[in-house]
C-alpha cells in the first residue's frame, strides 16, 4: 500500500461519542469507520486484519476436518419457534423485519436452528456422522447499549462451528479437538498467554460451558482464577457448589480480574436436534437423535481484544500474525524516497509493505507508523543510505537498530 494513494488518512481525533479505546484507536489509525454505535465499516487496513484472523482460524478448523459454508442472514421464524427462540421475550436481541410478500423475518443473531435444519437434508444414517461445519458470518444483535467499540457490535463478524455426532463419547472427543484447535488459534493470534478456558454457566441445559476469556482490564466479565491450579471461573459460576463439583479444596483463594469472552464452546447435546428433529438411523436400524456441539469465536471482537491488549500511548501495536502489513517504509529525502520506492516495487508481490511516500513532514510519517501499529518501521533516508544502512524499529519493543537493506528484507 502506498500512503500517497490510499483514500484513508490517520485522524487526529476519533468522532465525538466514541468511548471505547479500541474503536478510538482504530478510527484514528484509519482501520475502521463508525456508522453508528456498535456498527463499523472496515477500511483497507481493518479488512486485512479481519482476513488474517479468519485465515488463522480457518486453517486450524480445516485441520480438524470441519467444512466451511456460508448461511444466510435472513431467517424464517419456523425453526426458531420450534426451539422457542423466536419470541422477543425469549431472545431479546433480535432484529426483525418484514417480507414485502408478507411474513416476518429475523436477522440471524446465531445459527443453531438453521444449521440443524440444514443437516436434516444430509444426515440419514450413522454413516453420515460425525460431521462438522463452520462459517464466518456477519451476525446481528440488537443490543440496547453498544459502547465497547468492536468488542460488542450490533453487527459483527463471528466464526461459528457446529458438530454432529452419534454418541456423547464422540461429541466429547470432538470437543477436545476443538479445545486443541482453539489453543492454537489464540496462540497464533498473539493472545495465547492471556486467554484461558474458563468455566461458565451452561444455561439450563448443561451445568457448565467453557468460555475463552482474555484477561484484559476492559473485559466485561469478572473472572476468578488460580493460575497455578489452572482454574478459571466466570463469576456467574463462582459458588460453593461449583467449587465442590470441580474438586477444589475449601479455602483456596482466587484472584479476581476482568475478562473479555473471545470464544465459547458448548455441548448442546439434544438442545436443538431434538425439537427440530435431526436424527439418524443406527446400525441396528433404530432412530436416534443427533448429539450436537457449537463453538464460537468472535472474529471482530478478537480484533478489538488484540487492540486493547497491546496498544500503548503511541497507538496500535499489532502482532505480526494479524498486522495488515509487516513493514512500514518511511521514505525521507530524494534518494531515500527513490530507494524506498525501489524496495517497495521489488517486494510488491509479497504485499507486506506500506510505503509512506507522502509529501508530509518526516515526523508525521514516523508518528503515523506508530499510530498504525505496523510491526517493523524502516526509515530509508538520504543520510542513512550514505553508509548503506537503514533504521529499523520494532513497534512492540521500540528497539531501533541500524541494518543493511539485505538483512532487513532478506527473509521476504
Output phi, psi for 122, to 5 deg.
-115, -20
CA distance 117 to 25: 41
- Phi, psi (deg, nearest 5) at residue 354: -105, 130
Orientation angle between helical segments 299-310 and 44-63, nearest 10 degrees = 110
Q: Is 40 in the site for a copy of itself (CB under 8 A)?
A: yes
Rg (CA), the chain: 24
Helical (H) or strand (E) element with 213: strand 208-214
35 counts as binding a copy of itself under rule CB under 8 A: yes
CB of 49 to a copy of itself, least distance (A): 11
Question: 52 φ, ψ to 5°?
Answer: -70, -40
Closest among 183, 73, 188, 68 to 136, alpha carbons compared? 68
For residue 129, give the C-alpha cell: 456422522
Strands 195-201 and 208-214, bridge-based pairing: antiparallel
Does the protein bind a copy of itself through residue 170 (CB under 8 A)?
Answer: no
Min dist. Cβ of residue 76 to a copy of itself (A) = 5
Contact status: 96 vs a copy of itself (CB under 8 A) = yes
End-to-end CA distance of the chain: 16
Shortest distance in whole angstroms from residue 337 CB to a copy of itself: 17
Query: Does residue number 229 form part of the binding site for a copy of itself (CB under 8 A)?
Result: no
Per DSSP, 315 falls in state B
Region near a copy of itself per CB under 8 A, out of 53-61, 113-121, 253-261, 382-390: 113-121
Helix (H, G, I), strand (E, B) or coil at 156: strand
Per CB under 8 A, does 207 bind a copy of itself? no
In the shown chain, the binding pattern of residues 14 to 33 toward a copy of itself, with x for contact by CB under 8 A and - for none, equals -------------------x
Contact between 68 and a copy of itself (CB under 8 A)? Answer: yes
Rank residues 105 and 248 by Cβ distance to a copy of itself and give the closer one: 105
Report in angstroms how near the CB of residue 306 gets to a copy of itself at its nearest: 18
Strand 353-356 with 327-332, pairing: parallel
Give the residue with the Cβ less far from a copy of itself, 71 or 183.
71
Using CB under 8 A as the binding rule, whether residue 47 contacts a copy of itself is answered as yes
Q: Cα 250 vs. chain centroid, distance in angstroms?
A: 36
- Residue that is written with C-alpha cell 444455561 in the block: 203
Is 118 a binding residue for a copy of itself by CB under 8 A? The answer is: yes
91: contact with a copy of itself by CB under 8 A? no
What is the distance, to the nearest Å, from the Cα of residue 47 to the centroid of all Cα atoms in its chain? Answer: 12
Minimum CB distance to a copy of itself smaller for 47 or for 258 = 47
Q: How far is the CB of 35 from a copy of itself (least distance, A)?
A: 5
39 and 281 Cβ atoms separated by less than 8 Å: no
64 is a contact residue toward a copy of itself (CB under 8 A): no
Among positions 12, 16, 145, 283, the unique one binding a copy of itself when judged by CB under 8 A: 145
Binding a copy of itself (rule: CB under 8 A), the pick from 64, 69, 338, 396 is: 69
By CB under 8 A, name the binding residues for a copy of itself: 5-9, 11, 33, 35-36, 39-44, 47, 50, 65, 67-76, 92-93, 95-101, 105, 107, 114, 118-119, 121-123, 128, 131, 133, 138, 140, 142-145, 154-155, 164
Amino acid at each position: 500500500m502506498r500512503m500517497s494513494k490510499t483514500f484513508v488518512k490517520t485522524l487526529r481525533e476519533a468522532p465525538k461519542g466514541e468511548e471505547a479505546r479500541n474503536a478510538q484507536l482504530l478510527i484514528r489509525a484509519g482501520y475502521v469507520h463508525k456508522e453508528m454505535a456498535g456498527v463499523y465499516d472496515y477500511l483497507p487496513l481493518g479488512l486485512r486484519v479481519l482476513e488474517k484472523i479468519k485465515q488463522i482460524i480457518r486453517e486450524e478448523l480445516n485441520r480438524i476436518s470441519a467444512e466451511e459454508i456460508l448461511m444466510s442472514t435472513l431467517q424464517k421464524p419456523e425453526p426458531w419457534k420450534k426451539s422457542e427462540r423466536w419470541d422477543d421475550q425469549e431472545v431479546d436481541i433480535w432484529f426483525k423485519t418484514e417480507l414485502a410478500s408478507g411474513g416476518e423475518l429475523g436477522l440471524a443473531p446465531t445459527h443453531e436452528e438453521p444449521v440443524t435444519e440444514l443437516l436434516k437434508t444430509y444426515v440419514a444414517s450413522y454413516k453420515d456422522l460425525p460431521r462438522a461445519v463452520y462459517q464466518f458470518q456477519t451476525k446481528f444483535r440488537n443490543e440496547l447499549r453498544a459502547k465497547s467499540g468492536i468488542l460488542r457490535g450490533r453487527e459483527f463478524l463471528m466464526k461459528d462451528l457446529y458438530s454432529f455426532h452419534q454418541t456423547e463419547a464422540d461429541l466429547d472427543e470432538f470437543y477436545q479437538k476443538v479445545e486443541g484447535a482453539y489453543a492454537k488459534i489464540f496462540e497464533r493470534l498473539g493472545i495465547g498467554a492471556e486467554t484461558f478456558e474458563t468455566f461458565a454457566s451452561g444455561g439450563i441445559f448443561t451445568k457448565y460451558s467453557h468460555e475463552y476469556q482474555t484477561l484484559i482490564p476492559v473485559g466485561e466479565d469478572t473472572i476468578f482464577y488460580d493460575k497455578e491450579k489452572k482454574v478459571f471461573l466466570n463469576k456467574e459460576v463462582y459458588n460453593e457448589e461449583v467449587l465442590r463439583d470441580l474438586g477444589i479444596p475449601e479455602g483456596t483463594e482466587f484472584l479476581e480480574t476482568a475478562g473479555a469472552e473471545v470464544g465459547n464452546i458448548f455441548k448442546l447435546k439434544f438442545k436443538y436436534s431434538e425439537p427440530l428433529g435431526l436424527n439418524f438411523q443406527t446400525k441396528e436400524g433404530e432412530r436416534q437423535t443427533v448429539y450436537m456441539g457449537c463453538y464460537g469465536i468472535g472474529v471482530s471482537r478478537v480484533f478489538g481484544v488484540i487492540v486493547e491488549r497491546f496498544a500503548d500511548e503511541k497507538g496500535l501495536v499489532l502482532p505480526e500474525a494479524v498486522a495488515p502489513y509487516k513493514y512500514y517504509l518511511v521514505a525521507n529525502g530524494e534518494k531515500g524516497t527513490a530507494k524506498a520506492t525501489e524496495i517497495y516495487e521489488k517486494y510488491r508481490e509479497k504485499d507486506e509493505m506500506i510505503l509512506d511516500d507522502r509529501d508530509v513532514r518526516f515526523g508525521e510519517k514516523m508518528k503515523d507508523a506508530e499510530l498504525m501499529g505496523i510491526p517493523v518501521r524502516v526509515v530509508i533516508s538520504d543520510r542513512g543510505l550514505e553508509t548503506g544502512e537503514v533504521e529499523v524499529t520494532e513497534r512492540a519493543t521500540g528497539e531501533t537498530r541500524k541494518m543493511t537493506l539485505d538483512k532487513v528484507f532478506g527473509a521476504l
